[in-house]
Structure 1
């Protein structure tokens, strides 16, 4: 009974203390696609993505109900850095839903004119950016005035605050009315009530290690399996490792171990599984990260999920070193990624899977109609055979007295063909283990797609090659051979497709550079790189977020410079956020239902080669 009453009391007080208007709330999930498009339309950095902000703790003045309920300290503030624009996951600031939607629009417009470097002068920087937006985007002036009026109505009265807090609040309200009128924020204890119309400095994570330090080929850091994923990015800091040897310890002398009883176990490191770890992390205001130099047991167990060397694919050579683009330093790091050609182990020759045979037969008939065909060039001045219709026409013209002195009476046979080479590059990362439905995984759909596309291209007579890729840091980028350009299509290739297995991560830039090297050797007029993937570039080291995107984009731009046309086919439902930046607006496609991939690939190929018009 006490627990029931306490729970009801907690809900009552928390509800009364809550700020905002829940009936007019707008969520980022509903607005994200629109906001991303608006951000790029306003000339925002196309490499940035729109994401949900993580609540942070402020020492602001709270109402008495908030103090009783223990709320009012955590606020979702808008900010941006070099990788993303973060806005609140849910907005219920104003009583009208349209005003909350306009607030999302205003924050995105403000972020498009910000460089993210607020520093200590965030108060002055926001005034400057607001004035810039109003000057460059005058259509938003009315939106800002409406929002500012509502915000000012909800701000505390400076006269009811202390002298120092009152001066600070007066400066904030004046800056909202006339952006740029104040050149400094008066000092006062605590933090002011957040201003929903402004961008705040990005949360700092302490002194993070140098990116080069993180780029270690250190297997002790583990290889991720199917881990739990939290919402958003947590505020964190780097701290020194607590080695258990420092600090004051109170103990009884008789509890000391003898030499034979002493066991050197560092109890400051807990290597046990914690089922509530994700829930605890979500509740923490700041996570503390450190390097212990040792791998806990949980990571050892995750490593056991990966194939051993005896069961891994067969390396075909020592590989080669390829460069990688470091967008932070704006330079190409030479000989940075080790790309190793691999061959699927135990890939026995096999035939086309039975469940694909009917569709393969239909596709083969359709593509055979596109094979190079012999045709005749008529009415030629010379050739291998007489052109009967031209001879009849010439004889008729002679009888009419209008015959030419240089008649074109011959015909020549010609061969029609497409001078094209296509390389299909399939993502074989661990994410392809995900289930599409109750019967198929993503890797099964990829295999079926390769079977059908290969059958179609073979029937059409085009030169093509099939490869797969995955990675485990920069020293182990796997480039799996399925079929090269010189090899005929047949049962050995079908067997390699059936032997493909998911593994590791997605260092896409290195794979694109290696595929470009292969296509460069093909003397074709048109060279097509068809990339199949289910997610964005990522790896265990610094190859994540914008670093991976920028390296992939640099590799794709270099491929275009070599005369290669890249095109991406993805089943990643968030692909619209980053694919236009990587491939361009018309060089990618998103397949909503992953099960449709095998049937869609041949049709897409026809469109790309101009045969599907």
Structure 2
């Protein structure tokens, strides 16, 4: 009974003290696509990633009701740094849903107008006002929306008349800065920070301190593959880097034991394995306000799992070409580094010729019938000056004209056969990283879907006669990039090729920039006018040696630009649900497609090819 009454009291006091409107909430995932398009349209850095912001303690004054209910201590500040635009995961600040959505749009506009380096702790208030003024001057259409937001924000802020003198002065300065951006250079000093300003972006928090520079991450920190465990609370948290406890003198307590209110232990967050204890770190993390991360110098997964270790030469695929040097774009230095990547072309070692799997026979037959319409056909041209056969109709018509006295010039009386060729070729580049080992259903993994797609694609293009090649890639650091030869352009699509497709297996990481550069070299040697590069991927560029985040995306973008300069047309097919945030920056608005259901890939891939080639 006591717990029941306590639960009712908690719900009542929390509802009474919380100043939010859940019924009018707008979530970031609802406007994610709009956010990226608007940010780039307003001149923002197209390579920035949009991500949810973590809730942090703001330290501002709270009402007595909020203190009783223990609510209102934290707020999700919008922020921007060199790689990420962080926005609140949900905005329910106003009772009107349209205002909450307009607040998202204004924060996006602010992020586009701020300097590329983000905000510093000293001049961030002046920088926000400058960004507001620049946005209103460049886009007058925002003026009405901004005024509505300012009025709504001021109505929700504390009354200066009820605040201490120092806090009241800061509050009046904030109101003046909102109503007339650029009128306030800095806020007056106060004992407490002011209530967070919903219309402003804040300096981005530093997630990891500088001790990481002397303690670099191990490969386990970047381990890829497996499905991501969903957070039960679906919210971002702050993190801080800590030193690993040495475990010495564990029985000596330099404090009173009765002051110890709770305890926690460090758990390994790399890939799970069968030896993991039957605990629930996610549940413990859900109760933490700030998560501490430490590195103990040991790699448990490397003692148990050997997925990412290079296989021995006797077990690995057969190398065809080794030591192919390729450049890589260093985004931080804005420099193309020459010959820093080493690529190896491989053939599957244990690939045995096989027939098409039985579950693909019917869809393959249907695709062959559809694609036979794209096969180059012979067409007879009439009334030609020369040709292998006489045009009987033209001869009879000319004879009748002469008999009737209508003498005409010699227009030709032969039939000429013309063969319309499709002057195009296609190279399919499949991502074979370890992330393709994840399950998309109870019976299929991503790698199984890729195999089925390549089988059906080869059957469909075999019916058209268009030259095509099939290749795969994975990587483990820049000195071991694996480029798998599945089918060269001059090889027929027979049982031997089907056996190579069946032998594909996932492994390692996704250094896609080097793979695109080598695929471009292959396509640049083709004589066809249209050279299509189809990329099958399931996630962002990623590798162990810092090839992740903005670095990997920018290198991929530079490699795609170089491919376009060589006359290659790239197109990406992905099953990454977060691809909308970075794919437009890489491939353009019409250069990619996202499949929400991975199982659709085998049937969609040949039809996408037909659309891209005008069939």
- Normalising by structure 2, we get a TM-score of 0.88
**Aligned equivalents of 1:416 and 1:389: distance in 2?**
24
For residue 210 of structure 1, report the CA deviation from its aligned partner: 8.7
**Aligned equivalents of 1:221 and 1:27: distance in 2?**
30
2:489 counterpart residue number: 485
Matches within 5 A, 1:380-529: 380-404=384-408, 406-529=410-533
1:256 counterpart residue number: none
Would you say 1:301 and 2:304 are equivalent positions? yes
Matches within 5 A, 1:316-331: 316-331=320-335
Matches within 5 A, 1:542-553: 542-553=546-557
Q: Is the 8 A contact 2:225 2:436 kept in 1?
A: no
Change beyond 3 A, Cα 1:211–1:296: closer
**Aligned equivalents of 2:225 and 2:436: distance in 1?**
12
Would you say 1:579 and 2:580 are equivalent positions? no
**Aligned equivalents of 2:345 and 2:523: distance in 1?**
15
For residue 121 of structure 1, report the CA deviation from its aligned partner: 0.9
1:142 counterpart residue number: 144
Q: Is the 8 A contact 1:222 1:300 kept in 2?
A: no
Change beyond 3 A, Cα 1:210–1:322: farther
Change beyond 3 A, Cα 1:314–1:67: farther
1:43 counterpart residue number: 43
For residue 6 of structure 1, report the CA deviation from its aligned partner: 4.5
* Deviation per residue, 1:544-570 (Å, 9 max, x gap): 222222211111111111011111122
Q: Is the 8 A contact 1:273 1:298 kept in 2?
A: no
Q: Secondary structure at the residue paired with 1:316? A: strand
For residue 416 of structure 1, report the CA deviation from its aligned partner: 2.3
For residue 465 of structure 1, report the CA deviation from its aligned partner: 0.6
For residue 352 of structure 1, report the CA deviation from its aligned partner: 0.8
**Aligned equivalents of 1:549 and 1:539: distance in 2?**
12
Matches within 5 A, 1:578-597: 578-597=582-601
Q: Secondary structure at the residue paired with 1:436? A: coil
* Deviation per residue, 1:427-472 (Å, 9 max, x gap): 2222323333333222222211111110111121111111112222
2:189 counterpart residue number: 187
Change beyond 3 A, Cα 1:180–1:424: same
Q: Is the 8 A contact 1:223 1:303 kept in 2?
A: no
**Aligned equivalents of 1:56 and 1:75: distance in 2?**
6
* Deviation per residue, 1:288-325 (Å, 9 max, x gap): 44555x22324543545878446543333324121111
Change beyond 3 A, Cα 1:197–1:250: closer
Which moves more between the two structures, 432-441 or 218-227?
218-227
**Aligned equivalents of 1:133 and 1:513: distance in 2?**
39
* Deviation per residue, 1:229-286 (Å, 9 max, x gap): 55565433445666568999779xxxxxxxxxxxxxxxx9876758343344454444
Q: CA RMSD in A?
A: 3.0
* Deviation per residue, 1:19-61 (Å, 9 max, x gap): 2223322222223233333323333322223321111122222
Q: Secondary structure at the residue paired with 1:318? A: strand
**Aligned equivalents of 2:223 and 2:118: distance in 1?**
34
1:173 counterpart residue number: 175
Which moves more between the two structures, 153-162 or 307-316?
307-316
1:254 counterpart residue number: none
**Aligned equivalents of 2:329 and 2:571: distance in 1?**
20
**Aligned equivalents of 1:527 and 1:212: distance in 2?**
46
2:343 to 332, 336, 339: 339
* Deviation per residue, 1:206-226 (Å, 9 max, x gap): 544799996x8x656563443
For residue 594 of structure 1, report the CA deviation from its aligned partner: 2.1
- Normalising by structure 1, we get a TM-score of 0.88
1:79 counterpart residue number: 79
1:111 counterpart residue number: 111
Q: Secondary structure at the residue paired with 1:448? A: helix
**Aligned equivalents of 2:488 and 2:213: distance in 1?**
37
Instruction: Please list every run of 5 or more consecutive structure 2 residues that lacks an aligned counterpart in the other structure.
Output: 255-264, 269-275
**Aligned equivalents of 2:136 and 2:253: distance in 1?**
63
For residue 158 of structure 1, report the CA deviation from its aligned partner: 2.5
Change beyond 3 A, Cα 1:336–1:87: same
Change beyond 3 A, Cα 1:367–1:158: closer
**Aligned equivalents of 1:100 and 1:482: distance in 2?**
51
